[in-house]
Amino acid sequence: MCGIVAAAAGNNIVPVLVEGLKKLEYRGYDSAGLAVIGDRKIDRVRSVGRVAELESASAATSSPTGIAHTRWATHGVPSERNAHPHISGSIAVVHNGIIENYESLRSELTAQGYVFTSDTDTETIAHLVESLLKTEPDLFRAVQLACRRLIGAYAIAVIDHQQAGRIIVSREGSPLLLGLSDTGNYAASDASALLQVTRNMVYLENGDIAELTATSVRIERLDGTPVERPVHVSQLSAAAVELGNYRHYMQKEIFEQPEALANTLEIVGGSKSIQPGIFGAEASNLLQDVDHILILACGTSAHSGMTARYWLEAVAGVPCTVEIASEYRYRTSVANPRQLIVAISQSGETADTLAALRHAKSLGQLKTLAICNVPESAIVRESALRFITRAGPEIGVASTKAFTTQLAALFLLTLVMAKVRNRLSADQESAYIDQLRHLPVAVNKVLMLEKDIEIWARRFADKHHALFLGRGRHYPIALEGALKLKEISYIHAEAYPAGELKHGPLALVDASMPVISVAPADDLLEKLKSNLQEVRARGGELYVFADADSEIPESEGVHMLRLPEHYGLLSPILHVIPLQLLSYHAALVKGTDVDKPRNLAKSVTVE
Ligand code: G6P
């Protein structure tokens, strides 16, 4: 959803900007650009497509001060003229977010004689700052005044060739952090872009504005009050964001799942029981009288919530609803101050999820829990309780390890809720914990099915449609399988609870429609087998992911892969892995851009 990098240093920063953009490319990749302070002018380079294009185009550019951007289009098609930075007079601006009042600002600025050369909301910021510079010549103050007039979400970085060596950055709603070092000072949308130069990071708060030079940093609030923000030493390893021996980040991240799960579950240690405190110091009190759980999330994170609903109701006996965040925030709902609001988000900055969380709080529902992969993110900071999944940075746009670690966290929540509600014996608790602990090994075994899955993927990569079926807690897994396939291979895929087949989708089944079925040996297996017969009877080709002990015979038109272990309640965590691999290999056969699928972005920080 657009990535920003800015650098003020003692030497040429163009390689730092380009390297930083490469790390942020997951945020948007339809065009990229940079602007540096040249010899009494702004030198700007922009290109449509990937950062690699920008790298070649900017090879001859050099300066100690500059800003850069990788774009995911919101206002205006991906094109060079819409690519950032946008220039007005002596200044250049990059922006991540959406300015909601840009139309009124644009009319006002047009009336003042400014000519717009792009369709973006960002160009409004450039002209607004330029117009304010006429009465307030100090760039810091002019940007401060401009920001006070902006409504919406933004992280911006501004340079002025008449005030060389200075970069002004500000944020409201969109992420931005500073990187401090002896050789220069930097800003970026996330820490991965700056690990190349420093580990010392300062997270800006909403409404902060900062000035960076090669040797100084100062921060104020938009009302002019000076503030200090603490320096965090990032623990992120540079290797964690490198591709290593893998072909794609998605492949790397699928194979990192055993480790990601082990890290996430480390909090349980060698203990036979878990305490509410793993969700925060307040958890014991706060969870005590919870009578309902409302999970809010988007995309893959919503699927983890949907899976958890089956656990929470069955094991903890607590009613649970899962709602797509973008729907909840605009719906008139019935508030319940005793309900626990669980916001699930890999990035912790998804605009819809954050807005839904804020909306829930505005209705007086203050029992909030964030399940998130990014500790300093807005969703974590704005929730009363938190659980940080330790998946490590997830770069591939299609979420994989974030999903399985969210599931592990949600199972821990299930156990804690069950304990708080006196529904879990010590034996059950310790048995579940043992199962959780064994997960990394169990996932490893499933990953060994890759070669077989690759063969399957080749068989249906030329198909235009696919159906995914699951039942019970595996229905959300079918949904996740379908989402993965459409996201990265562009094969139209739908998921249904298998019992719904006869109520509509069966009409679509013929020999050209592969039907992928999640079929673990659970209490719904017999019912599922009948559904599969319905598919076979219509000539549908079945691809079944069963357990070692699911009694489904392989026959003509019924292809079968068996997962090595039967995993009971936790089986969704294992059954999603082959579906991830299937979509990955289907995408490879089709030759799509696995890590950067068309039209999508990793963190959607706009509505
Ligand atoms: C985007 C990504 C999805 C992700 C969703 C929610 O759509 O492409 O992979 O599931 O956002 O993201 P979050 O960071 O809130 O989990």
- Model pLDDT for residues 276-290, shown as the tens digit of each residue: 999 999 999 999 999
Domains 3-241 and 450-590 agree in fold? no
Tokens, residue 431: 């048995």
Average of per-residue pLDDT across 545-560: 82
**pLDDT at 250 exceeding the cut of 90:** yes
Calpha distance 64→161 (Å, rounded)? 12
pLDDT in tens, 378-421: 899 999 999 999 999 899 999 999 999 999 999 999 999 999 99
> Residue 132: pLDDT above 90?
yes
pLDDT recorded at residue 396: 92
pTM value is 0.84
Please say if the pLDDT value at position 585 is more than 80.
yes
Does any ligand 1 atom lie closer than 6 A to the CB of residue 185?
A: no
112 backbone dihedrals φ, ψ, rounded to 5°: -80, -5
Q: Is the CB of 346 under 6 A from ligand 1?
A: yes
Fold category of 249-446 in CATH: Rossmann fold (3.40.50)
Ligand 1 neighbourhood includes 304 CB (under 6 angstroms): no
**Ligand 1 mean position to 37 CA, how many Å?**
36
Active site residue 602: yes
Per CATH, is 450-590 categorized as 3.10.110.10? no
With cut-offs at 50, 70 and 90, classify the pLDDT of residue 100: confident
Q: Decide if 436 contacts 268 (C-beta within 8 A).
A: yes
CB-based contact 63:43 (threshold 8 Å): yes
Residue 353 CA to ligand 1 centre (angstroms):
10
Fold designation for 3-241: Glutamine Phosphoribosylpyrophosphate, subunit 1, domain 1 (3.60.20)
Q: Decide if pLDDT at 528 tops 90.
A: no
pLDDT classification of 535: cutoffs 50, 70, 90: confident
Q: Quick one: pLDDT at residue 77?
A: 85
C-alpha–C-alpha distance, residues 446 and 438, integer Å: 13
If you measure from the C-alpha of residue 548 to the centroid of ligand 1, how many angstroms do you get, rounded to a whole number?
32
pLDDT band at 243 (very low <50, low <70, confident <90, very high): confident
Are residues 540 and 501 in contact, defined by beta-carbon separation less than 8 angstroms? no
Interval 172-198: pLDDT, tens: 978 899 999 999 999 999 899 999 999
| Domain locations in the chain as residue ranges | 3-241, 249-446, 450-590
Average pLDDT along the chain? 93
Q: Given ligand 1 and candidates 2, 603, 607, which is best to mutate, with the most ligand atoms within 8 Å of its CB?
A: 603
Contacts of 64 (CB under 8 A, 6+ apart): 8, 9, 10, 11, 12, 13, 37, 165, 184, 214
CA of 179 to the centre of ligand 1 (A): 26
Q: Is residue 173 within 6 Å of ligand 1 at its C-beta?
A: no
**H helix runs in 388-425, sequence order:** 401-420
CB contact set of 368 (below 8 Å; sequence gap of 6+): 340, 341, 342, 343, 357, 360, 361, 382, 383, 384, 385
Confidence of residue 565 (pLDDT cuts 50, 70, 90): confident
**What's the order of all strands across the beta sheet hosting 541-547?**
492-497, 465-470, 514-519, 541-547, 558-563
Question: Mean pLDDT across the stretch 332-353?
Answer: 96
Residue 605 near ligand 1, beta carbon < 6 Å: no
Q: How far is CA 338 from CA 279, 286, 334, 528, in A?
A: 17, 9, 12, 37
Ligand 1 centre to CA of 604 (Å) is 7
The C-alpha atoms of residue 152 and residue 570 are separated, in whole angstroms, by: 41
* Atom 4 in ligand 1: residue holding the nearest Cα: 299
Mean pLDDT on 477-505: 94
Place of tokens 């003509």: 556
Check pocket membership of 47 for ligand 1, CB cut-off 6 A: no
Identified catalytic residue from 2, 147, 320, 372? 2
Q: How far, in Å, is the centroid of ligand 1 from the Cα of 234?
A: 23
Given 22, 401, 596, 602, which residue is catalytic? 602
Tell me, using a 6 A CB cutoff, whether residue 604 lines ligand 1.
yes
Per-residue pLDDT of 137-156, as tens digits, reads 999 999 999 999 999 889 99
2 is catalytic: yes
The reply to whether ligand 1 has any atom less than 6 angstroms from the CB of 580 is no
Out of 306, 399, 600, mutate this one to test ligand 1's pocket (max ligand atoms within 8 Å of CB): namely 399
Query: Is the bond preceding residue 85 a cis peptide, omega within 30 degrees?
Result: yes
Separation of alpha carbons 167 and 94, rounded Å: 11
| Res 552 pLDDT > 80 | no
Contacts of 593 (CB under 8 A, 6+ apart): none
Listed in order, strand segments (DSSP E) in 380-537 are 385-388, 465-470, 492-497, 514-519
How many angstroms does the Cα of residue 457 sit away from the middle of ligand 1? Answer: 24
603 CB near ligand 1 (under 6 Å): yes
> Quick check: CB of 300 below 6 Å from ligand 1?
yes
Say if residue 1's pLDDT is above 70.
no
Could you identify the atom of ligand 1 that is nearest to the CA of residue 379? 15
- Report the pLDDT value the prediction gives residue 460, as an integer from 0 to 100: 79
What pLDDT, on a 0 to 100 scale, did the predictor assign at position 98?
84
Q: State whether the beta carbon of 397 lies less than 6 angstroms from ligand 1.
A: yes
